[in-house]
């Protein structure tokens, strides 16, 4: 759910806003903002399925002549109505992209949570190229017993079916939980800041992290922090890499906001991959804002 919307500072001089003001006064403009807020909270994609003219005016706190507010929004091209009498906010997906994509962000955030709580399911989906999961699908995958070889993306539940007997011979233990060794016998290693040797699978996974994190400063210190992770399993590496990817994607936004990003060593030492996921955050909004001559929505 989105918790804010974007309104440019030139909003007061916008042509559509002035037209709305001339017809309905300041109450009409305030009700428009209330409508935007209600849509962001309840219909983030901007399409008001099932809404009547009365519903829209109720959500907007309009207390004037019934039907007049919606009629005026349509005339000012602030509201659309299709052949099925379904209302939608004009150009909402372009002017409020942060809100419009809130469902996508929620699905991706939920997928990251899946990685932490159910790494085996996460890895299986990841191998299929899936990087987001709906609320219903998350519930199905984590609460419904699945038979052996049942596709993860099949939406059919099987609560009443017995589990298929284990195959013979029994499958090998889940390698996702096997700890990654600190070294091997290849002789290839990386010397850390503390003159420790990082080699083998630990070195391989560290190099993956270093490339994804993509802030090439303090590598030797970061290597020490990587060695200090006590139990490094394949599932944990997936968690770290996924979080590192998000960190790299959001880094420029942090810099633009006047903050200094963490180097890899500090990020690993602080175990930032365990940070709670915030689905909506104002600093992450990077979409076009309105200018005086642009459409409001």
pLDDT tens-digit map of 115-140: 777 888 888 888 888 888 787 788 88
Q: Which of 27, 85, 84, 77 is nearest to 55 (CA)?
A: 85
Residue 233 DSSP code: B
Domains within the chain, CATH numbers bracketed: 9-100 (1.10.10), 102-163 (no CATH), 177-275 (no CATH)
**Chain CA centroid to CA 189, Å:** 37
Beta bridge partners of 87: 48, 81
DSSP codes, 23-47: HHHHHHHHHHHHHHHHHHHH-TTSE
Chain mean pLDDT for the chain: 79
User: 89 φ, ψ to 5°?
Assistant: -75, 130
Q: Tell me the average pLDDT across 256-272.
A: 88
Per-residue pLDDT tens digits for 175-234 = 555 566 655 556 788 899 999 998 888 898 999 999 999 998 999 999 999 999 988 888
- Structural contact between residues 148 and 159, judged by C-beta atoms closer than 8 angstroms: no
- Structural contact between residues 152 and 125, judged by C-beta atoms closer than 8 angstroms: yes
Band of pLDDT at residue 284, cut at 50, 70 and 90: very low
What pLDDT does residue 279 have?
46
Tokens of 194: 């503390």
Q: Tell me the average pLDDT across 259-271.
A: 90
* 285 pLDDT above the threshold of 70: no
Q: Tell me the average pLDDT across 27-40.
A: 93
Per-residue pLDDT tens digits for 148-167 = 455 555 444 334 444 344 45
b/e code 144-167 from CB counts within 10 Å (16+ = b): eebeeeeeeeeeeeeeeeeeeeee
Distances (CA, A) of 264 to 182, 204, 215, 232, 246: 19, 16, 7, 17, 13
Band of pLDDT at residue 239, cut at 50, 70 and 90: confident
Rounded CA separation 120/236 (Å): 11
What pLDDT does residue 2 have?
66
Range with lowest mean pLDDT among 76-85, 110-119, 148-157: 148-157
Band of pLDDT at residue 7, cut at 50, 70 and 90: confident
* 69 pLDDT above the threshold of 70: yes
Decide which of 181 and 28 is more confident: 28
Q: Tell me the average pLDDT across 252-278.
A: 84
Beta bridge partners of 191: 197
* 33 pLDDT above the threshold of 80: yes
- Structural contact between residues 263 and 222, judged by C-beta atoms closer than 8 angstroms: yes
């Amino acid at each position: 759910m989105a918790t804010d919307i974007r309104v440019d500072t030139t909003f007061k001089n916008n042509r559509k806003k002035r037209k709305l003001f001339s017809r309905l006064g300041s109450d009409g403009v305030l009700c428009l903002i209330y409508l935007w807020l209600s849509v962001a909270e309840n219909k983030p994609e901007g399409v008001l399925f099932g809404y009547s003219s009365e519903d829209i005016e109720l959500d907007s706190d309009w207390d004037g002549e019934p039907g007049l507010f919606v009629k005026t929004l349509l005339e000012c091209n602030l509201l659309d109505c299709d052949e099925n009498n379904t209302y939608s906010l004009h150009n909402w997906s372009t002017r409020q992209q942060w809100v419009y994509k809130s469902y996508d962000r929620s699905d991706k955030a939920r997928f990251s949570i899946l990685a932490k709580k159910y790494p085996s399911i996460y890895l299986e989906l990841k191998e299929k190229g899936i990087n987001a999961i709906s609320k219903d699908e998350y519930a199905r995958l984590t609460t419904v017993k699945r038979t052996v070889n049942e596709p993860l993306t099949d939406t059919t539940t099987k609560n009443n079916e017995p589990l298929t007997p284990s195959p013979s011979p029994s499958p090998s233990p889940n390698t996702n939980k096997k700890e990654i060794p600190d070294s091997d016998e290849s002789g290839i290693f990386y010397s850390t800041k503390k003159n420790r040797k990082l080699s083998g699978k630990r070195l391989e996974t560290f190099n993956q992290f270093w490339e994804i994190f993509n802030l090439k400063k303090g590598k030797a210190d970061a290597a020490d922090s990587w060695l200090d992770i006590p139990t490094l399993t394949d599932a944990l590496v997936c968690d770290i890499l996924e979080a590192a990817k998000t960190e790299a994607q959001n880094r420029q936004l942090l810099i633009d906001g006047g903050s200094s990003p963490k180097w890899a060593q500090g990020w690993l030492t602080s175990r930032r991959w365990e940070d709670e996921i915030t689905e909506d955050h104002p600093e992450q909004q990077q979409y076009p804002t309105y200018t005086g001559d642009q459409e409001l929505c």
